Amino acid sequence: MEPVQLAAILAGAALVASMVSVEVGISVALVELAFGVLLGNAFSLDPNASWLVFIAGFATVVLTFLAGAEVDPDDFRERFGASVAIGVVSFAGPFVTATLVALGPLGWTTEASLIAGTALSTTSLAVVYAVLVETGLNSVSVGKLIMSACFVTDMCTVIALSAIFIKPTIWLPAFLIVSVAVIVLLPRIAPWFFGRYGDRVIEPEIKLVFVVLFALMVLGAEANSQAILPAFVLGLVMSRHYRQHQEERRRLRVVAFAFLTPFFFLRGGLNVSLSAVVANLGILAALATAKMVPKLGLVYPLARRHVTPNATFTTLLMSTGLTFGTISALYGLTAHIIDRTQFSLLVTVVVLSAIVPTAIAQRWFSPPIPADQPHHLMPPDPSEILIGGQ
């Protein structure tokens, strides 16, 4: 299939997913994931097309940057203990459990079992951020705590993957130096740059952010590392600037949610092989249990302590997975540590964990929407449309 044909199909799916999301009141990220699964298995669409891999990878970094920009640094410091506690147990529980399940009952090799533990330990910052922004919950304390805890979980996952499998290259010092430099310098030059060149239709301020993120991606790839962590911290230190310039953040969101994120979520669904899943339902159930039970069992008591009214909502969102789970599984496949069937099973669990807990959390346990935030997922009242048209 030609790249433009695949792009047209996915763009159409993204449009329909947006319409379905508005009509049923479910995050568009979940609908796009489901559409990706259906399209990938019905028409054998290639999730590894080079352009799609590139856009999805960049979308991950941009979403992580935006997630960091939503967190108030002062609030993050106040909730540092809660964020670290929830984030660490959210990683450690499924990592240990999934590794032991794969190594013991499933009979996988030691390295394959460690890949399973790493892939299933994650929490999807991208999914969580998309859901919180769509519902307006990113602006309240529970949303900020969830995003901070997600970052801690994913940081633990990246450290585990790097420490166990990945061998850093000579580019690692350069990557670290540049990461620290942009985190220190960008907040300092942003007021001058955005004041001089911003608020124009050509969007120089968005281009500046994209250049910095691309540079981090390039150096991260050369160093055998990930640009996700510095991207989140960069967004965190830029959050004060964006609170003073809300329109700049809004325009950056528009670019991300209109173009980048649909391809990211659709590709996540395209990675699922239903035939491999159906043939191994017992293994799938064991892996899903190894991920979900420790997440739910360990996160909920801490959530009860720190966000009592929204403990179930917090626990369910912390049980999601997508970005780093897929990255970890794909690394294992590329390095010939796991085979394609193992890869499909792991990715299926990861994708299901992005869809099911989030759908339950939104439908039955979502906190009240802030009064000054529109509920973007709810369809408009027909009477309001009629009155507006008179």
65: CB partners within 8 A, 6+ apart = 209, 213, 231, 232, 234, 235
Q: Can you tell me the distance from the alpha carbon of 215 to that of 208, in angstroms, rounded to the nearest whole number?
A: 11
d(CA 241, CA 237): 8
Q: Which DSSP category does 104 fall into?
A: T
Exposed, middle or buried, 388 (CB in 10 Å: 0-12/13-18/19+)? Answer: exposed
Residues 6 or more apart whose Cβ sits within 8 Å of residue 344: 271, 272, 273, 276, 277
- What integer pLDDT is reported at residue 371 of this predicted model? 59
What is the per-residue pLDDT for 370?
A: 59
CA dihedral sign of residues 25, 27, 28, 34: negative
The per-residue pLDDT for range 304-333, each reduced to its tens digit, is 998 888 999 999 999 988 777 877 887 787
Encode the chain (390 residues) as per-residue pLDDT tens digits.
Answer: 788 999 999 999 999 999 998 888 777 877 888 898 899 888 878 888 899 989 988 988 888 788 778 777 777 777 889 999 999 999 999 999 999 999 999 999 999 999 999 999 988 777 787 788 877 887 788 888 898 898 889 888 878 877 887 777 898 899 999 999 999 999 888 888 888 887 777 788 889 899 999 999 999 889 887 787 788 889 888 888 888 877 888 888 888 888 888 998 888 788 777 888 888 999 999 999 999 999 999 999 999 998 888 999 999 999 988 777 877 887 787 678 888 789 889 988 988 888 889 889 888 888 876 555 544 544 444 333 333 333
**pLDDT for residue 307:** 86
C-alpha count within 13 angstroms, C-beta hemisphere, residue 265: 33
In angstroms, the CA 150 to CA 123 distance is 6
CA distances 42 to 77, 270, 274, Å, are 47, 10, 10
What per-residue confidence (pLDDT) applies to 13? 94
What does the chain come to in residues? 390
Contact 1/45 with Cβ under 8 angstroms? yes
Number of Cβ atoms within 10 Å of the Cβ of 166: 15
**Distance from C-alpha of 66 to C-alpha of 266, rounded to nearest angstrom:** 20
pLDDT at residue number 165: 74
Look up tokens 């039955």; give the residue. 364
Q: Are 126 and 62 spatial neighbours (Cβ–Cβ below 8 Å)?
A: no
Residue 357 is which amino acid?
P
List all residues 6 or more positions away from 69 whose beta carbon is below 8 Å from its beta carbon.
235, 236, 238, 239, 242, 249
Amino acid occupying residue 227:
A
Distance CA 341, CA 352 (A): 16
**366 phi, psi to nearest 5 deg:** -65, 135
Q: How far apart are CA 157 and CA 152, in angstroms?
A: 9
Q: Give the pLDDT score at 379.
A: 43
Q: Provide the CATH number for the domain formed by 3-165+244-365 in this structure.
A: 1.20.1530.20
Q: Which of 14, 7, 95, 48 minimizes the C-alpha distance to 261?
A: 14
Cα→Cα distances 78→82, 83, 145, 187, 312, Å: 9, 10, 10, 22, 22
pLDDT at position 127, please? 79
User: What letter does residue 200 receive in the DSSP assignment?
Assistant: S
